[in-house]
Amino acid sequence: LQHTGPAVVFTDLRDLAARVDDPALDVTPESVLVLQNAGPVGAPGMPEAGYLPIPKKLAEAGLKDMVRISDARMSGTAFGTIVLHITPETARGGPLGLVRDGDRIRLDTGNRRLDVLVDEAELARRAAALPSAEPPKYRGYRKLFAEEVLQADEGCDFRSFVPERRKIAPVLTQNARHPGEKKT
């Protein structure tokens, strides 16, 4: 699949719920829906919110699928042309947070590429203008979660729960025998 279209950006789940079915939404079948801030920290908890619905006006016109992109996840029983688990997520300063309405996005599944067709200098300017990607100042469990949760590609576990990776020296060598093995 190869597809290029203009981005329609939803900044979070509330924005998606408020605008996706608005008849005034500037969206066409060629558009690429983008949901930001739905990953482990941004949502929080990485809910199954990645199945962005087809905007009502397009669904009523018979559209069954369109390209959708998010840092969220979705149910395994859902379907469609949806790119999920984008990492690092928007809330951690990931590239999805640089996408704006109207940016051209190219999806090329054969070459395993997803590109925002925006000049590098413009992306750098947008990145410099972003607020700090530090976790919000919460208390209690929410604070622990925001500071410790890993990204989707790392399993969304708490950093402190992941054992250290240690190099283990080989126990057996080519000439070694099992302790109960007889010499031949």
Look at residue 125 in the predicted model and tell me its pLDDT: 96
The reply to whether 39 falls in a domain is: yes
Q: Is there a domain that residue 125 lies in?
A: no
Specify if 159 maps to a domain: no
Both tokens assigned to 115: 């590109």
Domain membership of residue 106 (yes or no) is yes
Residue 154 falls inside a structural domain: no
Higher pLDDT, 79 or 176: 79
Say what the pLDDT of residue 111 is. Answer: 96
Are 69 and 33 in contact by the 8 Å Cβ rule? The answer is yes
Which residue range is the domain that position 110 belongs to?
2-119
pLDDT tens-digit profile of 151-165? 777 777 787 777 775
Contact status, residue 114 vs residue 106, Cβ threshold 8 Å: yes
Domain-located, residue 182 = no
What CA–CA distance (Å, rounded) separates 166 from 80?
40
Q: What is the number of domains present in the chain?
A: 1
Q: Which of 95, 54, 99, 69 has the alpha carbon at shortest distance from 3?
A: 69
Query: Does residue 170 lie within any of the structural domains?
Result: no
Is pLDDT at 20 greater than 90 in this prediction?
yes
Rounded Cα distance between 166 and 9, Å, is 42
The pLDDT tens digits of the residues spanning 100-143 come to: 999 999 999 999 999 999 999 999 999 999 877 565 677 888 88
Q: For the segment 32-75, what is each residue's pLDDT rounded down to a tens digit?
A: 999 999 988 887 877 777 778 999 999 999 999 999 999 987 87
Could you tell me the CATH number of the domain that includes residue 115? 3.50.30.80
33 φ, ψ (degrees, to nearest 5):
-80, 135
Q: Is 75 a catalytic residue?
A: yes
- Catalytic residue of the set 70, 75, 132, 160: 75
Tell me, what amino acid is at 19? Answer: R
In a domain, 147, yes or no: no
Which range, of 47-51, 94-98, 163-167, 173-177, averages the lowest pLDDT? 173-177
